[in-house]
Structure formats: C-alpha cells, structure tokens
Amino acid sequence: MQNALAQVIGPVADHDPTGLLSLIPLGDTFRYYSVTGSVREETADNYRLSVSGLVDHPATYSISDLKALPQTSLIQDFQCVTGWHVPGVHWAGVQLSVLLEKAAPAKQARAVRFTSFDGTYTESLTLAEARRPDVMVALEMLGAPVTHDHGGPVRMYAGSMYGYKSTKWLSGIELAETETPGYWETRGYDIDGIIRE
Amino acid sequence: MTSTESSGNNTARPTPSAPESTSASVPRFSRAERMIHRTTAILMTVCILTAAVLYNGSIAVPVGHRHLIELIHVYCGFALPIPMLLGILSFAYRADLRRLGRFTPADRRWLRTRTRRDGTITVGKFNAGQKLNASLASGSILVLLGTGVLMYFVKLAPLPWRSGATFVHDWFSLALGLLVVGHVIFALKDPEARRGMRTGSVSRAWARTEHAGWLHDLESAAATESAAEVPEK
C-alpha cells in the first residue's frame, strides 16, 4: 500500500506547481535532521577534512584532494532507525578504507570517531565496520554534490547501517582505541547501528 | 410551552416558562469541560507546530535542535489524551461524551442533506458534524499515540513495524491536522459557539437556531424543576 501510494503521489508531487505537496509526508522522502541551531554553510573552497588520532600519517584534505583519490559509487537505501527510508539512493565519493589506508592506523587503533562542523554531532564505528566497502566519505548523493541540507559538502555514508551512523557535515575522522557513544547513542540508540532486520 | 402559559395575569405564581424570560443565556459547557478543551487545544497546537518542524525540511534545517523538538513533540503527544481521560471524573463531560457518541438516523440525514442548517432536522446539543469530528479526532489521537510509541521506543518492535508505524503516523497526522484546521475554521465563523467554549454559556437565541433539540430539553428540565417548586394546591 505504501509503495502504491508513493508511486501515485511521487509523479504528482514532481509536477506540482505550488510545491505544497512537498511540504507533507509522502512516504519515501528524506527528512532533514539537524541537532544544533543553524549549521554554517561550508563552501567547497574552504572545506577541510582532517584525519588524525592513532595514525602514522595524519592529514588534512580539501575537496579537490578528496576528488583526486579513487572514487567509488553505489546505489543503496537510506534507512532511519525510526522507520522511514529512501530506497535506491545514489552515493559517490571515497571509500573510507582508502583514507584509512593512507593514514596508516597504529596497531592499537580499534575504532574511528567522526566529528561534524555543526559543532555537536559525533559518531563512531569499529575499525572493521569502517573498512566495509559500502562505508564512504560521500561527495555526491542523488546524482549531485551533497547539498547543505543533506550534510554537504562532505558527509559520511555508512551503508547497511541506520542513518544516525552517517555523520552529516563531516569535519573530522579520528582513529582511537575504542568507540565513544555518539550524539544519538547517548540518547538511547545502540552503538551498533547495523540493520539486521 | 404548556397550557399554563395562557394564565399570564397570574403573577403570583411562577410559570414553567419562567427561565426563558429571566435569562438570555443558557449554560453549555462546565468549567471542567472548558479546561479540558483548553489544555487539549494547547497540547494539540504544540504537537502540530513541532510536527511541522520535524516533517518539513525547509523548517527543520534552520530550526535544528532535532532532539529537543522531538522531545517536546513526543511528550505533548503522550500528554494529549490525559485531559480527556481525567474528564471521565466530570459528570458533565461524561454526559457530553455520551451525546457525542450517539449517532441517530437524524444525524445521518443531517450529514446527507444540503439544507442541514435550516432547522428542519432538530439538532441536539451536538450536530452530526461535531459528533463526527469528535470520533475521528479521538480515534486519530489513539492511532497517533500507538504508532508514535513504536517510533519513539525503537527497541519495542522490529524495523518493519517501525516503517509501518511511520507510514500510518504520517497520514493520520495529516488527516488530524486537516480536521483541526476545519474545526478552527468553523469556530472562527461562529463567535457565539466560541463564547460557549470560553465562558461556558451561550445565548438562548443561538441555542434555538443551532441546537433547538438541546434547548428544548433544557427548558423542559427547567420547567419540571420550577413546576416542582410550585406549592401543592
């Protein structure tokens, strides 16, 4: 029933001149989460991503640095833990494992922590999770550069995990010995965000 | 009213129609009912405003603070049925609940006809539209509460349940939102109805036009009462 409705309403919403339909929940659409007040817009020119912590080669990447690395793309669902999901989202960027490889994690490193330039959001993955092929530093989603509302210019996409594992407005990647409970995890969600159902 | 009315020159004795001439207003809602309405209205407004932030990306991103907005929404949602449940303690509220829950053949005719406001069909304390609104709103609130619990306590149910709950919650909230908008529009068009909910009483003239059946019952009850006060001959 949900799919049938989405199929009927989706095309109607696409051609709705008033834009009113986009204001109401129509099934398979993104809902935009921000946990702080307004998040500053980061231009592609000024953006920097730092890789630090328990690594032999800490580094800072600009967008063009990231674009110069091997790119990957995949089509995969975005699933929120509360239930909503968006099927078949196109994601493109750099596999996190590529950045980790270049940083050369120290022996005792077991976890990867993420920070956001919203100043509040944090997340972490185990090193094993971080090396999965569907975990990427995303530069594009839905066939275009990641927009500000979607967490652009650069965000995480942790495929096969709930949406809260995919940090928006990504600013830092830090190798550590253990995972730290992230923003939503201190508010009740499991640190293990892998979708098993 | 009754045949005693014709003995108008007998001023020493109160007649059954006395209440009609003495008071221009009739009591419609008790203090408890008005408090229930007021708190429910506030909680519902907060739920709707926070829902708008949670659902709508163009509001959600500038406002941010998702967790706070979510908490306000969820706790106002949990609190929403409480005033109505406490209302069970009030006699007047229980009586009005019984009236709202009773759909008669006349109500069905009222809903079907276009001339429902001309007074041909006698309307009691609540018209069929108000009864329908009450049933749909309270039913939707229960559905939203149930699905909201599943969405908020993510460990209660497996993912397919949460997806289903989100879907149902989305559409019921939209429907209830429209119902509330309709309710407010009707209220805006009728100052006397608003006065009834604000002060507790309405004019006798308004009651006669909008709820003749109810006014008739009130007047007969008053008549019986004042007739009982008449000393036995």
By the CB < 8 Å criterion, does A41 face chain B? no
pLDDT of amino acid B120: 84
pLDDT of amino acid B17: 47
pLDDT of amino acid A138: 98
By the CB < 8 Å criterion, does A192 face chain B? no
By the CB < 8 Å criterion, does A40 face chain B? no
DSSP secondary-structure letter at B195? H
Cα separation of A17 and B151, whole Å? 32
* CA-based nearest residue in chain B for residue A33: B66
Which amino acid is it at B4? T
By the CB < 8 Å criterion, does B156 face chain A? no
pLDDT of amino acid B173: 94
Which pairing describes strands A49-53 and A59-61: parallel, antiparallel, or unpaired? antiparallel
Q: Using a CB-CB distance cutoff of 8 angstroms, which residues of chain B are in contact with residue A189?
A: 154
What pTM did the predictor assign?
A: 0.85
The minimal CB distance from B154 to the residues A23, A82, A149 is found for: A82
- Mean pLDDT across chain A: 91
pLDDT-based confidence at residue B64 (cuts at 50, 70, 90): very high
pLDDT of amino acid B6: 41
Interface with B, mutate which of A3, A9, A31, A183 (most B CBs under 10 A): A31
Residues paired with residue A170 on neighbouring β-strands, in sequence order: A116
Residue B206 has pLDDT above 70, yes or no: yes
For residue B109 the two structure tokens come to 């005719």
pLDDT-based confidence at residue B226 (cuts at 50, 70, 90): confident
Q: Which residues contact B60 (CB under 8 A, 6 or more apart)?
A: A31, A32, A33, A34, B53, B54, B66
A31, B62: Cβ pair inside 8 Å? no
Nearest-CA distance from A85 to chain B in Å? 8
Q: Taking the CA atoms of chain A, what radius of gyration do you get in angstroms?
A: 17
Mean pLDDT (whole number) for B124-128 = 95
Whose tokens are 């210019």? That residue is A153
pLDDT of amino acid B227: 79
Q: Using a CB-CB distance cutoff of 8 angstroms, which residues of chain A are in contact with residue B66?
A: 33-35
Q: Which residues contact A3 (CB under 8 A, 6 or more apart)?
A: none
Task: Give me the percent of chain A exceeding a pLDDT of 90.
Answer: 81
- CATH fourth-level superfamily of A40-180: Oxidoreductase, molybdopterin-binding domain (3.90.420.10)
Mean pLDDT (whole number) for B145-156 = 95
By the CB < 8 Å criterion, does B171 face chain A? yes
pLDDT of amino acid A25: 56
Residue B152 has pLDDT above 60, yes or no: yes
Residue A128 has pLDDT above 70, yes or no: yes
By the CB < 8 Å criterion, does A19 face chain B? no
Cα separation of B143 and B164, whole Å? 12
Nearest-CA distance from A104 to chain B in Å? 36
Least Cα distance to A159 among A111, A114, A121, A194 occurs for: A194
Range list of β-strands (E), A35-193: 49-53, 59-61, 72-79, 85-95, 111-116, 122-126, 135-141, 144-145, 155-158, 170-176
Could you report the per-residue pLDDT of A16-53, keeping only the tens digit for each?
555 555 555 566 788 899 999 889 999 999 999 999 99
Whose tokens are 């986009």? That residue is A22
For residue B178 the two structure tokens come to 């429209």
Could you report the per-residue pLDDT of A64-106, keeping only the tens digit for each?
999 999 999 999 999 999 999 999 999 999 999 999 999 999 9
* Exposure b/e, B38-69, CB count within 10 A at least 16 = b: ebbeebbebbbebbbbbbbbeebbebbbbeeb
Q: Taking the CA atoms of chain B, what radius of gyration do you get in angstroms?
A: 23
pLDDT-based confidence at residue B56 (cuts at 50, 70, 90): confident
Residue B22 has pLDDT above 80, yes or no: no
Least Cα distance to A171 among A156, A149, A186, A193 occurs for: A156
Count chain A–chain B contacts defined by CB atoms under 8 A: 75
By the CB < 8 Å criterion, does A90 face chain B? no
The minimal CB distance from A82 to the residues B61, B63, B151 is found for: B151
* CA-based nearest residue in chain A for residue B172: A25
Q: Using a CB-CB distance cutoff of 8 angstroms, which residues of chain A are in contact with residue B150?
A: 83
Residue B5 has pLDDT above 80, yes or no: no
Query: Does a cis peptide bond (omega within 30 degrees of 0) precede residue A153?
Result: yes
Task: Give me the percent of chain B exceeding a pLDDT of 70.
Answer: 88
B162, A36: Cβ pair inside 8 Å? no
pLDDT-based confidence at residue A196 (cuts at 50, 70, 90): confident
Segments making up each domain of chain A, as ranges = 1-33, 40-180
Give the ipTM of the model, two decimals please: 0.84
Residue B15 has pLDDT above 80, yes or no: no
By the CB < 8 Å criterion, does A35 face chain B? yes
Which sign does the torsion angle of CA A72, A77, A82, A84 carry? Answer: positive
pLDDT of amino acid A139: 98
pLDDT of amino acid A9: 63
